[in-house]
Amino acid sequence: MSGETGPRKVNLKKLRPYGDIMDDGTVQLCFTLPVEPSPEAREAAVQFCQKMGFDPVKVATMEKAAEGFSTFVIYGNTKFSVDFTAIKVLKVDAQKRAREEIDEIIRTRIGRKLVVLGACTGFDAHTVGIDAIMNMKGFAGDYGLERYQWLDARNLGAQVLNEDLLKRAVEAKADAILVSKVVTQHNIHQRDLKDLMARAKKQGLLEKMIFVAGGPRVTHPLALECGFDAGFGVGTKPSDVASYIVEEFLRRQGVSLDEAKPKAPARKKGKKS
């Protein structure tokens, strides 16, 4: 008898993975070692997990995936924990608003359409992500930027070279540039994103335009690291992006939207990580 009177509560100062008992630290792992299955291979897998801080380590299976390769499924219990209360994540700084509200803000506070150019750059041919943000139809029931009355949204499609994108942006006097990157092998996405920003900097465009990156492996911190103003990842909706653009545009004019909040009820801060 442990003398417990109810379910154990989570300790946020020492957060651990949960299996079926609070704080059990259970983790499921799967990996391959480039050696034939053997008792030694199994032991190697166990030691490897121990070095990662797992104890005990239970090898659920060791399979011969091919000659000279064993694939393992393993359960281990970790002794490590993290202090959840001390965690800080950089998030896109914008309040989430609805399309009508955003249009209204632009109409009343800016008085002209904001020009937004979108493209999937480099040799990346994936258009579905940028289309989801830009095209009328939008994504997950949220209309795309083309649908906004007060945005002049132009989708340049895929395989757009960085230098062409900037040229088009200058010609169009763009207020915001949206870049999609999907292929990430060998970090090609980061290379392309950084290259764009280096060019933009050289041309003195950083202050004139808002640079937004997006894609399934893009995060806000990663975008910042590449020199962008904001980054959006999996599941982004067009209104998330529009909310950010309008707020950032006004922020650069020295206007904070918080003071002159229109009638809409206060909502949670947009949380994109």
Partner 1 sequence: MAHLSLDPKKIETCRKLASSIARPIEGLIQAHTTIAIERATLRLLGVNGAVTRNGQYYPEVNAIIDTLHKAGVLGQGVLHWFANGMIQKKMSAAELGSAVARGKVDLLKLPRAPEATVRAKARELCEQARDLLVERREQRDGIRRETRDTFDPEGKNGPLLYVIVATGNIFDDVIQARAAAQAGADAIAVIRSTAQSLLDFVPHGATTEGFGGTYATQENFRIMREALDEESRKLGRYIRLTNYCSGLCMPEIAALGALERLDFLLNDAMYGILFRDINMKRTLIDQHFSRLIIALSRIVIHTGEDNYLTTADAVENGHQVLASQFINERFASHAHMTENLMGLGHAQEMNPEHPNVFLLEIARAQMTRDIFPKAPIKFMPPTRHKCGDIFYSHLMDAMFNFVGVLTGQTIQLLGMATEAMHTPLLQDRWMSIKNAKYIFGGAKDLGADISFRPNGIIEKWAEKVLDETVAHLEMIHGKGLMKAIEERAFAEVSRTETGGKGHDGVIVRAQGYLNPFFELL
CB of 125 to partner 1, least distance (A): 6
d(CA 111, CA 249): 13
234 binds partner 1 (CB under 8 A): yes
d(CA 243, CA 245): 6
The token pair that represents 271 in the structure block: 């949380």
Residue 104's SS3 state is helix
- In which order are the strands placed within the sheet that holds 230-232? 151-155, 114-120, 176-180, 210-214, 230-232
CB of 89 to ligand B12, least distance (A): 18
Told to judge if 137 belongs to the known catalytic residues of this protein, a careful annotator would answer yes
Q: Which distant-in-sequence residues (6+ apart) come within 8 Å of 220 by Cβ?
A: 90, 91, 92, 230, 231, 232, 233, 272, 273
Residue 65 interface partner, choices partner 1, ligand B12, none, CB cut-off 5-8 Å depending on type: partner 1
d(CA 119, CA 129): 10
30 binds partner 1 (CB under 8 A): yes
Q: Which residue has the tokens 């002159």?
A: 260
Site for ligand B12 in 191-220 (CB under 6 A): 212, 214-216
185 binds ligand B12 (CB under 6 A): yes
Q: Are strands 176-180 and 114-120 parallel, antiparallel or unpaired?
A: parallel
Candidates 10, 82, 128, 260; binder of partner 1 (CB under 8 A) is 128
Q: Catalytic residue, from 137, 201, 202, 271: name it.
A: 137
Q: How many residues bind ligand B12 (CB under 6 A)?
A: 28
66 binds partner 1 (CB under 8 A): yes
Residue 37 interface partner, choices ligand B12, partner 1, none, CB cut-off 5-8 Å depending on type: none
β-bridge mates for residue 73, sequence order: 30, 61
Closer Cβ to partner 1, 216 or 227, answer by number: 216
35 binds partner 1 (CB under 8 A): no
Residue 21 interface partner, choices ligand B12, partner 1, none, CB cut-off 5-8 Å depending on type: none
Closer Cβ to partner 1, 151 or 160, answer by number: 160
d(CA 224, CA 42): 42
Upstream peptide bond of 17 is cis (omega within 30 degrees of 0): no
| Contact string (CB under 8 A) for partner 1, positions 176-195, x = contact | -------xxxx-x-------
> How distant is the alpha carbon of residue 98 from its chain centre?
21
Closer Cβ to partner 1, 120 or 245, answer by number: 120
Q: Are strands 69-78 and 54-66 parallel, antiparallel or unpaired?
A: antiparallel
Q: Which residue has the tokens 């003071």?
A: 259
Q: Which residue ranges make up the site for partner 1 (CB under 8 A)?
A: 30-32, 63, 65-67, 69, 71, 122-125, 127-128, 131, 157-159, 183-186, 188, 216, 234
Query: Which residues are annotated as catalytic?
Result: 137
Q: Which residue ranges make up the site for ligand B12 (CB under 6 A)?
A: 123-130, 132-133, 139, 178-180, 182-185, 212, 214-216, 232-236, 241
